[in-house]
Chains A and B, each alone.
Chain A
Amino acid sequence: MQLSREDLLEAYRRMKIIRDFEDFLHDEIAKGEIAGFTHLYAGQEAVAVGVCEHLTDDDKIVSTHRGHGHCLAKGCDVEGMMKEIWGSREGLCKGKGGSMHIADIDKGMLGANGIVGAGAPIAVGAAIAAKIDGKDENGNLKVSIAFSGDGACNQGTTFEAMNMAVVTKAPAIFVFENNHYSEHTGFEYAVGTDKDIASRAEAFGMKVWRADGTDFSAVHDTMREVLEYVRAGNGPAAVEFDTERFYGHFEGDPQRYRAKGELDRIRAERDCIKKFRETVTEAKLLEGEELDKIDAEVASRIEKAVESARKAERPTAEDVLVDVYIDY
């Protein structure tokens, strides 16, 4: 790992924010406090953080229905997100969107998305815009990243977007998070290309990478290479990260499709946060105590966000009519 102490601490903090955010939501949803469909990102934190740590607010990402992690990694406000998920008028999207539609354009976060496969074409558009805007003084392009699941990679829109990115040489990066399931279906059934998603991108003419998505340093190092390549103007690229989701597809999913003991096993062996902790403490890059301190600090931050979301102002019937258009 080639990161400074500060960067390592920040990466850990971000991953921990996502984990606690989702763990808290898991409990709150069970209590019936939160409306709608919520898809938790816990387990996949190393991907969102390992990717987004390389980005600035001017780089764009387009997310999925499982978007909390991408939003938090891209710098969306924790309280604003929590309030949105609670449906408050103080939420990031004023309670209009909820969990599946969180967006923060100023942060370069162009939206979670309820339509599987809808994100990749949007990311290509943002990448074309970055290409039009051109390189900065260091010769680097801004980039646009499409996060997609192993399920979304079967959608025609994803295929079209990949080809169009190649044809337009847009600085787009297709990040495939293979968590082995799309809802209740195993990816080995639904993905026809011999258990492999990256090879599809390769077939479209893109340079591709593959890495263990539960290993933060593997994600971070891979993305450094990918970003160097794409920012330099070589056209799009794709990465497949092998990862795990720790909760059900949505909250309330009985997960009968899992093997016996699977959740215990992946939580024991494939927990990206646990692995990060072990790696950095064993290598004496960070002390256990300073990580404990972050744990405590993050937990209280999330608790506070939940408290503030609970008390935040509720929307009213008049709000329904606002923001359909700019001028009426």
Chain B
Amino acid sequence: MARKMYRDAVRDTIFEEMKRDPNVVVLGEDVVGGMGTAGGPEAIGGIWSTSGGFYEAFGPDRVIDTPISESAIVGAAGGLALSGKRPIAELMFADFIGVSLDQIWNQIAKFRYMFGGKTKCPAIIRCIYGAGYNAAAQHSQSPHAILTGMPGLKVVMPSTPADVAGLMRQAIREDDPVIFMEHKALYGMKGEVHDDPDYTIPFGHARLTRAGQDVTILATGMMVGMAEGAADKLAADGIGADVIDLRTTSPLDEEAILDSVEVTGRLVIVDEAPPRCSLATDLAAIVANKAFASLKAPIEMVTAPHTPIPFARELESAYLPNPDKIEAAVRKALAYN
């Protein structure tokens, strides 16, 4: 095990996989940085410092610094993937899927199905997402729900450095297109990461991060830490919570969710995105449909409101879920009878 940051787990895992497999290719804006400048390549090494040293190690054919052209970046990832390569495209901010949406939605996600299973499309689209930086309405969003809703895509939302490593390696070795959602506010988070160069975490396996009998809390990404914060506070009052980190929203570990709810009978879903047609409503529908008899209280959802993301510090923190809101939702579910 090695202790490292979430961002370094991204970088190191991709780097190791590029060494292992010459078909792995990286592309995106400023993934090299400094191209065409006096400072020269790698003056920056990626705006999020997740591709430092790549260019030097693997050269311009495999580490492609692109112009600002998200449609072409994602579309090219699709074409690379149809041609035997394993592209990892970076969308500097997940919000920019707006620019590249056709290539994700109508192209990459559907190739295999439309072509009658004749092809695979091992493309990864890294999306740096989430609020917490006061970056306002176009640089803070969590668009996992629309992507999870697209048949053909796998959607990964790691919450720890260890999971970044295991899930990124899995994503690179997967033959289906993967949306890899990295929460920008977690980049500095430190944790133990496996050294095993073949350590992978299979998709569709949730992780139980806290165990308890009274309530189930579902979360992804930055919401996991908040759910744990609430669970730890509740534990001090003798209330036990299962905190389940979904890890991947497609495929979804339904079994882990339903097994837990069958024991606790109470469910709180935490989601950083707005509440309509969301991951939260999707999970609620699944549980209501498949574990109705186990439920002892209405399902509670702690989400962002149905608004764009506001800029001001006070507004963004009011917008976001937090441990207090999660604790209140748990207490509400427990008070119901």
Task: Give A residues with C-beta under 8 Å from B.
Answer: 35-37, 87-89, 93, 95-98, 100-101, 113-117, 151-152, 154-157, 181-192, 256-260, 262, 314-317, 319-321, 324
Contact = CB atoms under 8 A, between A and B. Distances in A.
Interface string B1-39: 000000000000000000000000000011001111111
Contact of B44 (A256, A260, A314): A256
A100 B30 contact: no
A185 B36 contact: yes
Interface string B51-68: 000000000000001011
Interface in B51-96: 65, 67-72, 95-96
Interface in B288-327: 305-308, 310-315, 318-319
Interface residues of B, number: 43
8 contacts: A35-B311, A96-B312, A115-B96, A155-B69, A186-B37, A259-B37, A315-B310, A324-B306
A155 B68 contact: yes
Contacts of B69: 154-156
A96 B36 contact: no
Contacts of B70: 155
A148 B208 CA distance: 48
B30 A183 contact: yes
Contacts, number: 163
B182 to A, nearest CB: 18
B47 interface: yes
Contact of A87 (B95, B99, B138, B313): B313
Interface stretch (B111-119, B128-136, B153-161, B262-270): B128-136
Contacts of A321: 305, 307
Contacts of B96: 115
Contacts of B67: 151, 154, 182, 185, 190-192
Contacts of A320: 305, 307, 310, 315, 318-319
B39 to A, nearest CB: 4
A38 to B, nearest CB: 10
B139 interface: yes
Given A100-B138, A101-B137, A185 B65 contact: yes
A93 B314 CA distance: 15
Given A95-B312, A185-B33, A36 B68 contact: no
Given A35-B134, A87-B315, A321-B307, A189 B65 contact: yes
Given A36-B135, A324-B306, A183 B312 contact: no
Contacts of B95: 114-115
A114 B96 CA distance: 10
B68 A151 contact: yes
Given A98-B136, A256-B39, A184 B33 contact: yes
A186 B36 contact: yes
B43 A100 contact: no
Nearest to A155: B68
A101 B136 CA distance: 8
Contacts of A89: 312
B188 interface: no
B39 A183 contact: no
Contact of B137 (A97, A184, A259): A97
Given A98-B134, A115-B96, A185-B30, A257 B314 contact: no
A87 B68 contact: no
Given A117-B99, A154-B68, A257 B44 contact: yes
Given A100-B136, A256-B39, A258-B37, A315 B315 contact: yes
Contacts of A183: 29-30, 33, 47
B197 interface: no
Given A116-B68, A190-B67, A314-B312, A185 B306 contact: no
B136 A97 contact: yes
A315 B305 contact: no
Contacts of A258: 37-39
Contacts of B308: 96, 324
Contact of B29 (A36, A115, A185, A317): A185
A67 to B, nearest CB: 13
Given A87-B314, A259-B38, A262-B38, 8 more contacts: A37-B139, A101-B311, A115-B138, A185-B35, A186-B37, A190-B68, A315-B310, A319-B315
Contacts of B36: 185-190
A262 B319 CA distance: 42
Nearest to B139: A114
B311 A324 contact: no
B214 to A, nearest CB: 29
